[in-house]
Each structure stands twice: as C-alpha cells, then as structure tokens.
C-alpha cells in the first residue's frame, strides 16, 4: 500500500509539472531555459567575424563554463530570421545600420550588446593601380543591399568621385541621392557575394570587409577604405529579451577583456579596425 501511494504521488507530481507547459511547447532542462544558461548556439557564417569569435572569444567563454555550438548560415538575412525566432542565441556579423533595417522590415526585436572589430569596406580594381586613373564613364560595381550600398557611395564621396545629398539618410543611400557625378561614373548595384567574381568586368568595385576576406583578396591592395562610422561598427546581436541575461553580459565582457585585447594586438595584420571601446 505504501508503494502504491508513493507511485501515485510521483505520477501526480509529474502530471502537474507537465501541465505547466503551454500546449505544444517543448520541455527542456532548467539550464536550457534560464537566463544564466551555459549552453549557447550562435549563427555562424563563412567570414572573418565568426572566425574571430571562434579563435579568440569562444576560448574565453569556455573557460567560464560555457558550451558553444555554431549553426551555419549562408547569409545574414536568414541568420537574423533564426535569431529573431529564437532558434539561435546570438550572431556577430552585422552593424547597426543592417540591424535597424532588418528590424523595420521583419518586425524584428534584435539589439546590439557589444561592438566588435570591423573590417572596413574598400575600393579595388583589377584594371587600375590608382584612383587617379579614373576616366569619364568608368564602371563601378557596388553592393545592392541598403546599408552596404550606402557605405559604397559614402566611400566614393570620400575619395572625391561623387557628392551625395547632405540631407539624405546616410544609412540608406542610393544612386538617386547622388547630386554630383563629374566623371559620369556608371554604377551597377548587385549582390555583394557576386562582385568579386565579375571584378574584371568593371573598372572599380566596392566591397565590404567580409567579402574581401571570403574572396581571399589582399586587403592591402585596396585603393581606399571607408571611414568606419558609428552605425557601421560590427556588433554582437541578441533578441531584446536576452540583452540583460548573464550569458549576454559574459559575451560582451569577453570582447572587452584584456585577453581579447592581447589576442587582437598580436594577430591584427592590418585587416581589423578596432572600435575605441575595445582599445
């Protein structure tokens, strides 16, 4: 009789705990759902920012007891969709201009928690060795996504080839915002990933740092690089509901740590621009 009562009590307790979960909700351990969980999944891409995280930040977090799993994504849009859906915990691939654009277009709720080192966008050429070689009607390939397209036009303004409307939104410039084009440059806006493969078809190309890295282009061959404005600094990004969790604070602390400063000082061959907050 005593055994029967104990079994009944155990079954009742199990049923009560199961009833606490919403219909269809996955059950998981406390360590998986609590704000101080130690198992984290991040959206990983083929590029310098994920590699920097893997080589420099992940070891710091693992020393603090974290288990880190990377889930591969071929592009940032799908990585952000997964992050916004809660399928991954964070990513390390985007600047705030892209983040704001994603949130606006996708009902997103993503926020930055720490800046990271950034690879500047640059202008390159397989036909010319100098910016002074620019001629009337020269062809220029630029990214077609809003934030990186804006970076390209700001870089072209920096080198004196165009002028953009000073009253335009500098985070979302397009060719329509160009008010002066003395060389009558011909712009082709296209997917960033496609630009290196057709570089020989253009006089000049403007590409972002991750594309430079993935295409194995020597960053020292850039004819000019952008000024990294505040909205173009790369960030660690999480869902807003997680920004004050202990694990998010620990990721941010790792990027600000003395150990990371030592690593980036030793391994920076000119590729990385370091935000003042991390210096």
CATH number at residue 154: 3.40.190.10
Tell me phi and psi for residue 135, to 5 degrees.
-125, 170
Note whether 85 and 107 are same-domain residues: yes
- pLDDT digit string, tens, across residues 30-57: 334 467 899 999 999 988 999 999 999 9
Q: What is the pLDDT of residue 13?
A: 41
Q: Please indicate, yes or no, if residue 27 is contained in any of the structural domains.
A: no
| Low-confidence stretches of the chain (pLDDT beneath 70) | 1-34
Q: Please indicate, yes or no, if residue 92 is contained in any of the structural domains.
A: yes
Note whether 213 and 236 are same-domain residues: no
Note whether 246 and 109 are same-domain residues: yes
Predicted model pTM: 0.74
Strand partners, 150: none
Domain residues for the domain of 241 are: 37-118+232-278
Note whether 196 and 151 are same-domain residues: yes
Q: What is the pLDDT of residue 34?
A: 61
Q: What is the pLDDT of residue 31?
A: 36
Note whether 47 and 92 are same-domain residues: yes
- pLDDT digit string, tens, across residues 190-208: 999 899 999 999 999 999 8
CB neighbour list of residue 90: distance below 8 Å, 6 or more residues apart: 40, 42, 43, 83, 113, 236, 237, 238, 242, 248, 251
Note whether 104 and 241 are same-domain residues: yes
Q: Please indicate, yes or no, if residue 213 is contained in any of the structural domains.
A: yes
d(CA 76, CA 103): 13
Note whether 205 and 258 are same-domain residues: no
Structure token digits, residue 64: 């603090």
CB atoms within 10 A of CB 214: 17
Note whether 84 and 151 are same-domain residues: no
Q: What is the pLDDT of residue 232?
A: 86
Q: Please indicate, yes or no, if residue 21 is contained in any of the structural domains.
A: no
CB 193 within 8 A of CB 119: no
Ranges of beta strands (E only) in 30-131 are 39-44, 67-72, 90-95, 110-115, 122-124
d(CA 82, CA 88): 6
Q: What is the pLDDT of residue 149?
A: 93
Q: What is the pLDDT of residue 47?
A: 84
- pLDDT digit string, tens, across residues 131-141: 999 999 999 99
CA of residue 89 relative to chain centroid, distance: 14
Note whether 148 and 219 are same-domain residues: yes
Q: Please indicate, yes or no, if residue 32 is contained in any of the structural domains.
A: no
Q: Please indicate, yes or no, if residue 74 is contained in any of the structural domains.
A: yes
CB 94 within 8 A of CB 83: no
Note whether 170 and 208 are same-domain residues: yes
Instruction: Report how many domains make up the chain.
Output: 2
Q: Please indicate, yes or no, if residue 212 is contained in any of the structural domains.
A: yes
Note whether 104 and 237 are same-domain residues: yes
Q: Please indicate, yes or no, if residue 31 is contained in any of the structural domains.
A: no
- In the β-sheet with 39-44, what is the strand arrangement from edge to edge? 67-72, 39-44, 90-95, 234-239, 110-115
């Amino acid at each position: 009789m005593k055994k029967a009562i104990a079994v009944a009590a155990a079954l009742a307790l199990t049923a009560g705990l199961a009833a606490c979960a919403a219909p269809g909700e996955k059950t998981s351990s406390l360590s998986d759902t609590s704000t101080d969980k130690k198992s984290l999944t991040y959206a990983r891409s083929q590029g310098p920012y994920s590699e920097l995280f893997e080589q420099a930040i992940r070891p710091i977090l693992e020393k603090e007891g974290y288990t880190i799993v990377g889930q591969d994504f071929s592009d940032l849009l799908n990585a952000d969709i997964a992050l916004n859906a809660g399928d991954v915990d964070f990513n390390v691939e985007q600047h705030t201009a892209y983040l704001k654009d994603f949130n606006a277009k996708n009902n997103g709720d993503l926020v930055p928690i720490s800046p990271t080192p950034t690879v500047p966008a640059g202008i390159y050429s397989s036909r010319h060795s100098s910016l002074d070689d620019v001629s009337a009607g020269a062809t220029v390939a630029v990214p077609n996504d809003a934030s990186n397209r804006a970076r390209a036009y700001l870089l072209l303004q920096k080198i004196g080839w165009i002028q953009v409307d000073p009253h335009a939104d500098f985070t979302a410039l397009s060719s329509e915002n160009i008010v002066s084009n003395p060389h009558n440059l011909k712009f082709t806006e296209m997917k960033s990933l496609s630009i290196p493969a057709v570089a020989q078809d253009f006089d000049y190309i403007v590409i972002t740092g991750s594309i430079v890295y993935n295409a194995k282009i020597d960053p020292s061959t850039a004819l000019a690089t952008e000024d990294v404005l505040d909205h173009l600094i790369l960030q660690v990004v999480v869902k807003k509901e997680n920004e004050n969790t202990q694990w998010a604070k620990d990721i941010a602390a790792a990027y600000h740590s003395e150990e990371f400063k030592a690593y980036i000082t030793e391994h920076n061959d000119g590729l990385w621009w370091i935000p003042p907050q991390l210096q």
